[in-house]
Structure 1
Amino acid sequence: MPLYRIAVGTPGEASHPDTLKAGLAEFISTFIFVFAGEGSGMAYSKLTYDGPGTPAGLIMASIAYAFALFVAVCISANISGGHVNPAVTFASFVGGNISFLSAIVYWVGQLVGAVVACLLLQYATGGMETPAFGLSANVTIGNALVLEMVMTFGLVYTVYATAVDPKKGNIGMLAPMAIGMIVGANILVGGAFDGASMNPAVCFGPAVVSGTWTHHWVYWVGPFLGAAFAALIYDNIFIGEHEQLPVTDY
C-alpha cells in the first residue's frame, strides 16, 4: 500500500473547529449507541432475572445494537462520517481517508461517549451493574481474537463498500442500514462466545464503570486487526488509486 495515503496531519488540525465538531459528533453518536445497546441488556436482566446470556437475550441484543447503530451512523454521517467505532476510525486512517491527529480526536470522543453513557446508565438504573464484555466458558483468547477479527472485518468491509467507495452510487443511501444489520447479524454469531464487540468503545465504557478489565485487550487487538485487513483489501483491490489527503494550513 502506498505510504502517501497515510497522513499524520498538521499541528493545528486537532484543534480546528471542523475536527472538534467531528469529535463532538462521534461523542454524541457513540453515547446514544452505547446507552441504547448496553441499556437494553440491563433492562432485559431486570425484567427476566436470567441475564442476557440466553437465546432470547441474544436476539434482543442483536436487535437493539442494530437499531441503535443505524441511528448513530445516520445522525453523525454528514459531520464526522458516522464512525461510532474506534476500529472503523482506524480503518479509515489505514485507508488514507483521515489523518492520525483527526483519528485521535475521534477516538477520544468515542471513548468518552461510551463512558458517559455507562455512568448515566448506572445512575439511572439505581446502581445496576454495567456488565463488561468477557469470554464464555471454553472460549480461549485465540478463539476470541479470531471471532473479533472476522466480525470486524465484515463490519468494516461493509462500511467501505457502502459508505467509503467513491463508486458506491445510490447504495450509499443504505449504508447506515447495512452497517447496523451486519453488526446485528454478527452478534447472533459471536454473542454467545465473547459478546461480539467489534467496537473497542462498546467494551471500554462498561470496563471503566465496572472496573472489570479481564481480557480487555482482546477487544482492541481483534477489531483493529480485522479493520485494517478490510481497509487494505477493499482500498487496494476495489478502490485503487485515489487522491492524497489534502495538505491544510491548520
Structure 2
Amino acid sequence: MPVLRIEIGAPAEVLQPDAVRAAVAEFFSMLIFVFAGKGSSMAFAKLTHGPPDSPAGVIAAALAHAFALFVAISVSANISGGHINPAVTFALLISSYISFFRSILYWTAQLLGATVACLLLRVATGGLETMMPYSLAPRVSCGNALIFEIVMTFGLVYTVFATAVDPKKGHIGVIAPIAIGFIVGANILAGGAFEGASMNPAVAFGPAAVSWRWKYHWVYWVGPFIGAGAAAVVYEFLFIDEMDHEQLPVADF
C-alpha cells in the first residue's frame, strides 16, 4: 500500500540551516519564474498594444513560462527540490515526502518570491498597468475555471511525480525540469485564453497582492490544490509501492 499521511515534523525544523537555505532557494527561483513569465506578458502588451490573452500573447506567455520554469527548477533542484509551486509542495506534503513545518516555510518563501517579482516589475516598468491578476474571460464561469485549474494542475503534478518523485524514475529524472516546463507551457496554450492558466497559487497571488484585486482569486487556490492532491493520490496508489516510498532527497528533485 502507498504512504498517504502528513508528516508534521517539529517547529524547530524551520530554523535548521538546510531548511532556511531551501526556503531562500524557493524564494529566488519563484522570483525568477514570475518575473520572466509575467514580464513577458507585459512586454508583449507594450510592444503590440494588444491584450495578453490574444493568440500571439498566449503563445508568448506559454513559451516564456515553460523556459523560465525549466530554469527555476534546475537552479534550485539540488537545494530545495525545486518545487516552485505551493500546489506541488502540498502534493508532496500529503504523500509524506516533506513535513508540514517545512511546507509552511516553502509556502511563505514562494508567496514572497512571487510578490517581490511583481513589485519589481511594477517599479521597473514605471507602474505599467498591464500586469493584471488572473481573471476569467467573458462567458467563463467559476465552475469552468475551476475545472481548468484542477485538470491542468493534475497533469502538472502527475508529471512531477512521474519524472522527479517516483523512486523507479531512473535516468528519466534528468529531464524532469524540461518535462515540467513543457507541460506548463502546453497547459497555458490550452487554458490561457479562458482563465489565465495559473496552476500555481503563488503565481496568481503575486499580481493580486500588488494590484489588490482579489476577484475570483479563490479559484486559483482551490483548483490547483484539488488537482495536485488528486494527482498525488492517484500516482501513489497506482504506481508507488510502500517499500519503495522514501523521504525525497533534495538532490533527487
CA separation of 1:237 and 1:3: change in aligned 2, threshold 3 A: closer
Per-residue deviation at 1:51? 1.8
Aligned to 1:15: 15
1:50 aligns with 2:50: yes
Aligned to 1:219: 220
Code of the residue aligned with 2:154 in structure 1: it is F
Per-residue deviation at 1:6? 1.8
Code of the residue aligned with 2:180 in structure 1: it is I
Give SS of 1:80's match. coil
| Structure 2 residue runs without a partner (length 5+) | 249-253
| Structure 1 residue runs without a partner (length 5+) | none
* CA–CA distance in structure 2, aligned partners of residues 152 and 89 of structure 1: 12
Aligned to 2:83: 83
* CA–CA distance in structure 1, aligned partners of residues 11 and 90 of structure 2: 20
CA contact (8 A) 2:36 2:64 kept: yes
Aligned to 1:198: 199
Code of the residue aligned with 1:45 in structure 2: it is A
Code of the residue aligned with 2:217 in structure 1: it is H
CA separation of 1:212 and 1:159: change in aligned 2, threshold 3 A: same
Aligned length, in residue pairs = 246
1:190-221 CA distance string (max 9 Å, x none): 00110000000110000011111000000000
In the superposition, the TM-score normalised over structure 1's length comes to 0.95
Code of the residue aligned with 1:28 in structure 2: it is F
Per-residue deviation at 1:243? 4.7
* CA–CA distance in structure 2, aligned partners of residues 159 and 7 of structure 1: 20
Question: Where in structure 2 are the equivalents of 1:1-250 lying within 5 Å?
Answer: 5-129=5-129, 130-241=131-242, 242-243=244-245, 245=247
Give SS of 2:84's match. coil
Give SS of 1:232's match. helix
Per-residue deviation at 1:7? 0.4
Per-residue deviation at 1:5? 3.6
Aligned to 2:251: none
CA separation of 1:163 and 1:3: change in aligned 2, threshold 3 A: closer
* CA–CA distance in structure 1, aligned partners of residues 33 and 152 of structure 2: 18
1:26-77 CA distance string (max 9 Å, x none): 0000000000000000000100111212100010000000000000000011
CA contact (8 A) 1:7 1:245 kept: no
Code of the residue aligned with 2:187 in structure 1: it is N
* CA–CA distance in structure 2, aligned partners of residues 4 and 156 of structure 1: 16
Q: Which moved more, 1:42-51 or 1:148-157?
A: 42-51
Code of the residue aligned with 1:133 in structure 2: it is Y
CA RMSD of aligned residues (A): 1.4
* CA–CA distance in structure 2, aligned partners of residues 2 and 193 of structure 1: 36
CA contact (8 A) 1:132 1:206 kept: yes
Q: Quick one: percent identity of the two aligned structures?
A: 62
CA contact (8 A) 1:5 1:245 kept: no
* CA–CA distance in structure 2, aligned partners of residues 245 and 177 of structure 1: 23
* CA–CA distance in structure 1, aligned partners of residues 125 and 60 of structure 2: 19
CA separation of 1:102 and 1:40: change in aligned 2, threshold 3 A: same
Runs of 4+ residues deviating >6 angstroms? 1-4
CA contact (8 A) 1:146 1:222 kept: yes
Per-residue deviation at 1:11? 2.4
Code of the residue aligned with 2:232 in structure 1: it is A
Per-residue deviation at 1:10? 1.2
